[in-house]
Amino acid sequence: MRHMLDITDWSIEEINGLMDTADDIIAHPEDYAHAMERKKLATLFYEPSTRTRLSFEAAMIELGGHVLGFSEASSSSASKGESVSDTVRTVGCYADIIAMRHPKEGAPTVAAQVSPVPIINAGDGGHNHPTQTLADLLTIRREKGRLNRLVVGMCGDLQFGRTVHSLMNAMSRYPEISFVLISPEELRIPGYLRENMRKMDVPFMEVEKLEDVIGSLDILYMTRVQRERFFNEADYVRLKDSYILDPEKMALASAELTVLHPLPRVNEISHSVDKDPRACYFKQVLYGKYMREALILKLLEAKA
Protein backbone atom coordinates (compact mmCIF):
# COMPACT_ATOMS: atom_id res chain seq x y z
CA MET A 1 0.00 0.00 0.00
CA ARG A 2 1.32 3.44 -0.97
CA HIS A 3 1.69 6.34 1.47
CA MET A 4 3.01 9.92 1.25
CA LEU A 5 5.48 10.18 4.11
CA ASP A 6 8.53 11.82 2.56
CA ILE A 7 8.73 13.60 -0.79
CA THR A 8 11.84 11.61 -1.73
CA ASP A 9 9.83 8.36 -1.56
CA TRP A 10 8.20 9.48 -4.81
CA SER A 11 10.10 9.71 -8.08
CA ILE A 12 10.30 12.92 -10.09
CA GLU A 13 8.16 11.21 -12.76
CA GLU A 14 5.46 10.45 -10.17
CA ILE A 15 5.56 14.00 -8.80
CA ASN A 16 5.31 15.43 -12.32
CA GLY A 17 2.33 13.13 -12.87
CA LEU A 18 0.62 14.51 -9.77
CA MET A 19 1.17 18.04 -11.06
CA ASP A 20 -0.28 17.06 -14.44
CA THR A 21 -3.38 15.73 -12.66
CA ALA A 22 -3.64 18.94 -10.62
CA ASP A 23 -3.44 20.99 -13.82
CA ASP A 24 -6.26 18.91 -15.28
CA ILE A 25 -8.39 19.39 -12.14
CA ILE A 26 -7.88 23.15 -12.44
CA ALA A 27 -8.90 23.07 -16.10
CA HIS A 28 -11.79 20.56 -15.77
CA PRO A 29 -13.09 20.51 -12.15
CA GLU A 30 -16.43 19.04 -13.24
CA ASP A 31 -14.69 15.84 -14.39
CA TYR A 32 -13.58 15.16 -10.79
CA ALA A 33 -16.67 16.26 -8.86
CA HIS A 34 -17.75 12.68 -8.04
CA ALA A 35 -14.37 10.91 -8.14
CA MET A 36 -14.34 10.19 -4.38
CA GLU A 37 -18.05 9.65 -3.87
CA ARG A 38 -18.71 7.47 -0.78
CA LYS A 39 -15.04 7.78 0.25
CA LYS A 40 -13.94 9.31 3.56
CA LEU A 41 -10.81 11.24 4.53
CA ALA A 42 -9.81 11.38 8.21
CA THR A 43 -7.78 14.41 9.29
CA LEU A 44 -5.81 13.59 12.47
CA PHE A 45 -4.22 16.88 13.46
CA TYR A 46 -2.30 16.71 16.73
CA GLU A 47 -0.97 20.24 16.03
CA PRO A 48 -2.88 23.43 15.09
CA SER A 49 -3.33 24.06 11.39
CA THR A 50 -5.43 26.29 9.17
CA ARG A 51 -4.31 25.92 5.54
CA THR A 52 -3.18 22.30 5.53
CA ARG A 53 -6.18 20.86 7.35
CA LEU A 54 -8.78 22.95 5.56
CA SER A 55 -7.20 22.38 2.16
CA PHE A 56 -7.34 18.61 2.71
CA GLU A 57 -10.97 18.90 3.75
CA ALA A 58 -11.82 21.17 0.80
CA ALA A 59 -9.98 18.82 -1.57
CA MET A 60 -11.95 15.78 -0.44
CA ILE A 61 -15.26 17.63 -0.54
CA GLU A 62 -14.57 18.93 -4.06
CA LEU A 63 -13.87 15.35 -5.13
CA GLY A 64 -17.31 14.36 -3.84
CA GLY A 65 -16.05 12.65 -0.66
CA HIS A 66 -16.57 13.19 3.05
CA VAL A 67 -14.34 14.26 5.95
CA LEU A 68 -14.05 13.26 9.60
CA GLY A 69 -11.36 13.69 12.23
CA PHE A 70 -10.04 16.06 14.89
CA SER A 71 -8.17 19.37 14.81
CA GLU A 72 -6.26 19.14 18.09
CA ALA A 73 -4.94 16.34 20.28
CA SER A 74 -7.01 17.46 23.26
CA SER A 75 -10.23 16.59 21.42
CA SER A 76 -9.11 13.00 20.76
CA SER A 77 -8.25 9.97 22.89
CA ALA A 78 -4.63 11.08 22.72
CA SER A 79 -5.55 13.22 25.75
CA LYS A 80 -6.24 9.94 27.58
CA GLY A 81 -2.89 8.49 26.59
CA GLU A 82 -3.87 6.53 23.46
CA SER A 83 -0.92 5.83 21.18
CA VAL A 84 -0.70 7.01 17.56
CA SER A 85 -0.71 3.38 16.43
CA ASP A 86 -3.94 2.57 18.24
CA THR A 87 -5.62 5.75 17.02
CA VAL A 88 -4.69 5.02 13.42
CA ARG A 89 -5.81 1.40 13.58
CA THR A 90 -9.13 2.60 14.98
CA VAL A 91 -9.68 5.45 12.53
CA GLY A 92 -8.65 3.18 9.67
CA CYS A 93 -11.85 1.22 10.37
CA TYR A 94 -13.91 4.34 9.58
CA ALA A 95 -12.00 6.12 6.79
CA ASP A 96 -10.45 5.26 3.43
CA ILE A 97 -7.41 7.53 3.80
CA ILE A 98 -5.77 9.49 6.66
CA ALA A 99 -3.94 12.83 6.68
CA MET A 100 -1.91 13.26 9.87
CA ARG A 101 -0.04 16.17 11.43
CA HIS A 102 2.02 15.49 14.53
CA PRO A 103 4.63 17.42 16.57
CA LYS A 104 6.93 14.38 16.77
CA GLU A 105 9.23 13.59 13.86
CA GLY A 106 8.46 10.18 12.38
CA ALA A 107 4.94 9.82 13.82
CA PRO A 108 3.33 9.38 10.35
CA THR A 109 5.89 6.68 9.53
CA VAL A 110 4.94 4.83 12.72
CA ALA A 111 1.29 5.22 11.74
CA ALA A 112 1.90 3.82 8.25
CA GLN A 113 3.39 0.64 9.70
CA VAL A 114 0.05 -0.36 11.23
CA SER A 115 -2.53 1.54 9.18
CA PRO A 116 -5.08 -0.37 7.09
CA VAL A 117 -5.41 2.70 4.80
CA PRO A 118 -2.98 5.13 3.11
CA ILE A 119 -1.31 7.71 5.37
CA ILE A 120 -0.42 11.23 4.24
CA ASN A 121 2.16 13.11 6.28
CA ALA A 122 0.68 16.58 6.79
CA GLY A 123 3.75 17.73 8.74
CA ASP A 124 5.79 15.99 11.44
CA GLY A 125 7.66 18.25 13.83
CA GLY A 126 10.56 20.10 12.22
CA HIS A 127 11.22 17.23 9.83
CA ASN A 128 9.02 17.03 6.77
CA HIS A 129 5.99 18.50 5.03
CA PRO A 130 5.64 16.73 1.67
CA THR A 131 2.21 18.02 0.66
CA GLN A 132 3.33 21.62 1.17
CA THR A 133 6.21 20.77 -1.13
CA LEU A 134 3.74 19.54 -3.74
CA ALA A 135 1.97 22.91 -3.49
CA ASP A 136 5.30 24.72 -3.80
CA LEU A 137 6.35 22.72 -6.87
CA LEU A 138 3.07 23.28 -8.68
CA THR A 139 3.25 27.02 -7.93
CA ILE A 140 6.79 27.25 -9.28
CA ARG A 141 5.95 25.23 -12.40
CA ARG A 142 2.86 27.31 -13.18
CA GLU A 143 4.61 30.63 -12.48
CA LYS A 144 7.97 29.85 -14.12
CA GLY A 145 6.95 27.22 -16.66
CA ARG A 146 9.73 24.95 -15.47
CA LEU A 147 11.34 23.27 -12.45
CA ASN A 148 14.93 23.40 -13.69
CA ARG A 149 17.54 26.14 -14.22
CA LEU A 150 16.50 28.05 -11.12
CA VAL A 151 18.31 29.89 -8.34
CA VAL A 152 16.22 29.30 -5.21
CA GLY A 153 16.65 31.46 -2.12
CA MET A 154 15.53 30.04 1.23
CA CYS A 155 15.21 32.71 3.90
CA GLY A 156 14.51 32.63 7.63
CA ASP A 157 14.29 29.59 9.88
CA LEU A 158 16.16 26.97 7.89
CA GLN A 159 16.98 24.76 10.87
CA PHE A 160 13.45 23.94 12.01
CA GLY A 161 11.58 24.78 8.81
CA ARG A 162 10.17 21.44 7.64
CA THR A 163 8.83 23.07 4.47
CA VAL A 164 12.38 24.17 3.59
CA HIS A 165 13.78 20.68 4.17
CA SER A 166 11.13 19.02 2.00
CA LEU A 167 11.42 21.53 -0.84
CA MET A 168 15.21 21.36 -0.95
CA ASN A 169 15.11 17.56 -1.07
CA ALA A 170 12.56 17.66 -3.89
CA MET A 171 14.12 20.38 -6.05
CA SER A 172 17.62 18.95 -5.70
CA ARG A 173 16.54 16.20 -8.09
CA TYR A 174 15.74 18.61 -10.91
CA PRO A 175 18.55 19.73 -13.29
CA GLU A 176 20.52 22.94 -12.79
CA ILE A 177 19.07 23.93 -9.43
CA SER A 178 21.14 25.95 -6.97
CA PHE A 179 20.26 27.25 -3.51
CA VAL A 180 21.06 30.47 -1.67
CA LEU A 181 20.46 29.86 2.04
CA ILE A 182 19.78 33.05 3.98
CA SER A 183 19.62 32.75 7.76
CA PRO A 184 21.26 33.73 11.05
CA GLU A 185 24.06 31.44 12.15
CA GLU A 186 21.76 29.82 14.75
CA LEU A 187 19.08 28.90 12.19
CA ARG A 188 21.14 27.42 9.38
CA ILE A 189 20.04 24.19 7.68
CA PRO A 190 20.70 20.96 9.62
CA GLY A 191 23.99 19.22 8.96
CA TYR A 192 22.36 16.18 7.36
CA LEU A 193 20.72 18.38 4.71
CA ARG A 194 23.98 20.18 3.97
CA GLU A 195 25.65 16.80 3.54
CA ASN A 196 22.86 15.64 1.21
CA MET A 197 23.40 18.67 -1.02
CA ARG A 198 27.11 17.96 -1.20
CA LYS A 199 26.59 14.28 -2.02
CA MET A 200 24.18 15.19 -4.81
CA ASP A 201 26.58 17.88 -6.08
CA VAL A 202 23.90 20.58 -5.73
CA PRO A 203 25.44 24.06 -5.56
CA PHE A 204 24.54 26.12 -2.49
CA MET A 205 25.84 29.10 -0.59
CA GLU A 206 25.03 30.30 2.94
CA VAL A 207 24.71 34.02 3.69
CA GLU A 208 23.22 36.21 6.40
CA LYS A 209 22.01 39.30 4.48
CA LEU A 210 19.01 39.06 2.15
CA GLU A 211 19.85 42.40 0.51
CA ASP A 212 23.19 41.03 -0.75
CA VAL A 213 21.61 38.22 -2.81
CA ILE A 214 17.97 39.02 -3.60
CA GLY A 215 18.89 40.39 -7.03
CA SER A 216 20.28 37.02 -8.13
CA LEU A 217 17.22 34.92 -7.21
CA ASP A 218 14.52 33.35 -9.38
CA ILE A 219 12.57 32.14 -6.33
CA LEU A 220 12.54 33.61 -2.82
CA TYR A 221 11.03 31.23 -0.24
CA MET A 222 10.37 33.19 2.95
CA THR A 223 9.68 31.44 6.26
CA ARG A 224 8.72 32.59 9.73
CA VAL A 225 10.86 32.01 12.79
CA GLN A 226 8.76 29.38 14.56
CA ARG A 227 8.13 30.16 18.20
CA GLU A 228 6.84 26.62 18.85
CA ARG A 229 10.22 25.07 17.91
CA PHE A 230 12.23 27.08 20.47
CA PHE A 231 13.00 25.89 23.98
CA ASN A 232 14.29 29.32 25.00
CA GLU A 233 11.95 32.32 24.69
CA ALA A 234 14.87 34.74 24.73
CA ASP A 235 16.38 33.09 21.64
CA TYR A 236 13.06 33.38 19.82
CA VAL A 237 12.68 37.07 20.67
CA ARG A 238 16.25 37.77 19.56
CA LEU A 239 15.83 36.05 16.17
CA LYS A 240 12.17 36.53 15.25
CA ASP A 241 12.67 39.76 13.28
CA SER A 242 15.87 38.70 11.50
CA TYR A 243 14.31 39.10 8.04
CA ILE A 244 11.43 41.30 6.94
CA LEU A 245 10.67 41.48 3.22
CA ASP A 246 9.42 44.96 2.34
CA PRO A 247 9.07 47.09 -0.82
CA GLU A 248 12.59 48.48 -0.38
CA LYS A 249 14.09 44.98 -0.57
CA MET A 250 11.73 44.01 -3.42
CA ALA A 251 13.12 46.98 -5.38
CA LEU A 252 16.50 45.21 -5.39
CA ALA A 253 15.02 42.03 -6.90
CA SER A 254 14.50 40.92 -10.48
CA ALA A 255 11.21 41.72 -12.18
CA GLU A 256 10.90 37.95 -12.70
CA LEU A 257 11.28 37.01 -9.03
CA THR A 258 8.60 34.72 -7.54
CA VAL A 259 8.04 35.12 -3.78
CA LEU A 260 6.67 32.12 -1.90
CA HIS A 261 5.81 31.52 1.76
CA PRO A 262 4.22 28.40 3.27
CA LEU A 263 2.25 30.61 5.71
CA PRO A 264 1.25 31.55 8.33
CA ARG A 265 3.37 34.68 8.33
CA VAL A 266 3.96 36.85 11.35
CA ASN A 267 5.78 39.94 10.12
CA GLU A 268 8.49 38.53 7.85
CA ILE A 269 6.64 39.77 4.75
CA SER A 270 5.20 43.26 4.92
CA HIS A 271 1.53 43.44 3.92
CA SER A 272 2.53 46.15 1.45
CA VAL A 273 4.28 43.42 -0.59
CA ASP A 274 0.99 41.56 -1.11
CA LYS A 275 -0.03 43.73 -4.05
CA ASP A 276 3.28 43.14 -5.84
CA PRO A 277 2.64 40.77 -8.79
CA ARG A 278 5.72 38.80 -7.77
CA ALA A 279 4.05 37.79 -4.48
CA CYS A 280 2.58 34.33 -5.10
CA TYR A 281 1.96 32.94 -1.60
CA PHE A 282 -1.83 33.05 -1.81
CA LYS A 283 -1.70 31.34 -5.21
CA GLN A 284 0.42 28.76 -3.39
CA VAL A 285 -2.44 28.20 -0.93
CA LEU A 286 -4.90 27.56 -3.76
CA TYR A 287 -2.56 25.27 -5.66
CA GLY A 288 -2.08 23.26 -2.46
CA LYS A 289 -5.74 22.26 -2.57
CA TYR A 290 -5.44 20.98 -6.13
CA MET A 291 -2.25 19.03 -5.38
CA ARG A 292 -3.91 17.39 -2.38
CA GLU A 293 -6.83 16.42 -4.61
CA ALA A 294 -4.39 14.83 -7.05
CA LEU A 295 -2.59 13.01 -4.23
CA ILE A 296 -5.81 11.63 -2.71
CA LEU A 297 -6.87 10.36 -6.14
CA LYS A 298 -3.49 8.69 -6.72
CA LEU A 299 -3.28 7.00 -3.32
CA LEU A 300 -6.81 5.63 -3.40
CA GLU A 301 -6.36 4.52 -7.00
CA ALA A 302 -3.20 2.66 -5.92
CA LYS A 303 -5.02 1.10 -2.94
CA ALA A 304 -7.77 -0.17 -5.24
Residue 104: C-alpha distances to residues 53, 121, 124 (Å): 17, 12, 6
Instruction: Respond yes or no: is residue 52 known to be catalytic.
Output: yes
Judged against a pLDDT cut of 90, whether residue 210 lies above it is answered with yes
Q: What is the pLDDT of residues 229-288, one digit of tens each?
A: 445 556 555 555 668 999 999 999 999 999 999 998 888 999 999 999 999 999 999 999
Domains, the chain, in order of start with CATH, read 7-128+288-303 (3.40.50.1370), 130-284 (3.40.50.1370)
Give whole-number Cα distances, 254 to 156, 257, 278, in Å. 20, 5, 9
Q: How confident is the model at residue 226 (pLDDT cuts 50, 70, 90)?
A: low
Judge whether residue 189 has pLDDT over 60.
Answer: yes
pLDDT for residue 294: 98
Residues 282 and 139: beta-carbon distance below 8 Å: no
Q: How far is CA 181 from the centre of its chain?
A: 18
pLDDT (tens digit per residue) in 2-37: 999 999 999 999 999 999 999 999 999 999 999 999
Q: For the chain, give me the number of helices (H) and strands (E)?
A: 10, 9
Which residue in 129, 224, 289, 292 is the catalytic one? 129
Nearest to 293 by CA among 124, 102, 97, 91: 97
Phi-psi region of 114 (alpha: psi -120 to 50; beta: other; left: phi over 0): alpha
3-class state of residue 210 by DSSP: helix
In this prediction, residue 70 carries a pLDDT of: 87
Q: Please give the average per-residue pLDDT across 161-179, as a whole number.
A: 94
Q: Which of 51, 229, 249, 283 is catalytic?
A: 51
Q: Catalytic residue at 129? A: yes
Is 301 buried (19+), middle (13-18) or exposed (0-12) by CB count in 10 A? Answer: exposed
Residue of 92, 88, 64 lying closest to 78 (CA atoms): 88
- What residues contact 273, with CB distance under 8 A and at least 6 apart? 245, 246, 247, 250, 259, 279
CA 213, CA 193: separation in Å to the nearest integer?
Answer: 21
pLDDT at residue 224 in the model: 81
Which pTM was predicted? 0.91
Is 8 catalytic? The answer is no
21, 43, 52, 131: which is the annotated catalytic residue? Answer: 52
pLDDT at 243: 82
Count the alpha carbons within 13 Å of 174 in the hemisphere toward its beta carbon.
Answer: 21
Quick check: is 80 catalytic? Answer: yes
Amino acid 5: pLDDT: 96
Q: What is the model's pLDDT at position 223?
A: 92
Q: In DSSP terms, which residues pair with 222 in a beta bridge? A: 155
Confidence bin at 81 (pLDDT 50/70/90): confident
